[in-house]
Amino acid sequence: MTAIEPFARTDRAPRSRRRLALVHGGSHFHLQTLKDPAVIAHQPEFLYLAGLTDGDLDAFDTVILADRLHPELLRRHTAQILAVAQRGGTLVVLGENAAHTWLPGVSWTARPTNFWWWLEGEDPLIRTRSPEHEAWEYLSTNRRSGTTTACCTPTRTSCRCWCRRSPTRTATSTTPG
Confidence at residue 14, expressed as pLDDT on a 0 to 100 scale: 56
Cα maximum dimension of the chain:
50
- Higher-pLDDT residue of 14, 69: 69
Q: Give the Cα separation of 140 and 149 in Å (integer).
A: 6
Tens of pLDDT, residues 121-141: 888 777 777 888 777 777 666
* Structural domains for the chain: 20-101 (3.40.50), 126-177 (no CATH)
Confidence at residue 103, expressed as pLDDT on a 0 to 100 scale: 94
- Average pLDDT of the chain is 76
* Full-model pTM: 0.63
